[in-house]
Amino acid sequence: MKKFLCSFLLFISFFANAQQGLIKESLKVKSKLMGKEMKYSIYLPSDYDKNNRSYPVLYLLHGYSDDETGWPQFGNSGMIADQSINGGDAPAMIIVMPDAEVTWYMNSYDGKIRYEDFFISEFIPFIESTYRARAKKEFRAVAGLSMGGYGTLLFAMKHPELFATAAPLSAAVRTDGEMTSMEDDRWESRYKMLYGPNLKGNARLTDHYYRNSILKIIETTPAEKLKSVKYYIDCGDDDHLIKGNMVLHASLIDKGVPHEFRVRDGGHTWPYWRTALPEVLKFVGQSFRR
């Protein structure tokens, strides 16, 4: 009984002394490029207000039809970050969760949507001037799920000088064949504002489409540029996006780009992504550490 009581007290003491970070949701930043205020949520590590040090930053991207509250509310990003940092699996870091609406994190064909430009030219500089963020490639990472997995690859592969690591989860990577055979109503609801309306079959494979196709970017980008980013790719075996992720994996192999590739039991669900996040934090944390 005495032994049990001591163990119980140690258990309680551990949780009582565990440090908790702070999540601030739905903050706003003005964007000239987007022509409006954009929202974001942010996780600040537990010691952020206790010192003057600067921290590495992970940009954590949400999926289609979600927003800046997805990762904090459904992904338990704050709790998982606390556990990873307190357990020593990841260093203290800032986690930024921006709202991208349904832009797919890219610029549209007609220039009316400039989310990629906003993120690179306005948002990252805003974060690094507003918070004590380490403003160097080696202390900057990007990760995300589904549409956010696509955005992760888009940012890391088009701007490899900015990110040390990229961790797409269940990334919405589709082959040309999948895009040309997509049902018209699905194309119109999800892609017309980005690539153009009333496009059918091969007409969808425009120059703008290819400039933002992850598989085409891999094909046309020098291998050395792609190799400057460390990749962690994870997708469930029951996920409807597994085919695109397998092609992504094969394309990187063909290009000679080192990467971690995981296929685990699960589908396109929050329970799957919650189990993926600790590994993401560990992976990017290894890059942040010296």
d(Cα 228, Cα 138) in Å, to the nearest integer?
Answer: 10
pLDDT at 191: 96
Could you give the CA distance from residue 234 to residue 215 in angstroms, rounded to a whole number? 17
Closest by CA position to 242, among listed 183, 186, 165, 175: 175
Instruction: Report pLDDT for 290.
Output: 80
Question: What structural domains and CATH numbers belong to the chain?
Answer: 19-177+214-288 (3.40.50.1820)
φ/ψ (deg, to 5) at 288 = -70, -30
Mean pLDDT of 241-260: 98
The predicted model scores a pTM of: 0.93
DSSP structure string for 108-169: -TTSS-BHHHIIIIIIHHHHHHHS-B--SGGGEEEEEETHHHHHHHHHHHH-TTT-SEEEEE
- Of 215, 69, 230, which Cα lies nearest the Cα of 142? 230
pLDDT of residue 9: 46
- Is the confidence at residue 268, as pLDDT, over 80? yes
Q: Please, are residues 75 and 58 in contact by the beta-carbon 8 Å criterion?
A: no
Give the Å distances, CA to CA, from 8 to 1, 4, 15, 143.
10, 6, 11, 37
Arithmetic mean of pLDDT over the chain: 94
Mean pLDDT of 171-197: 96
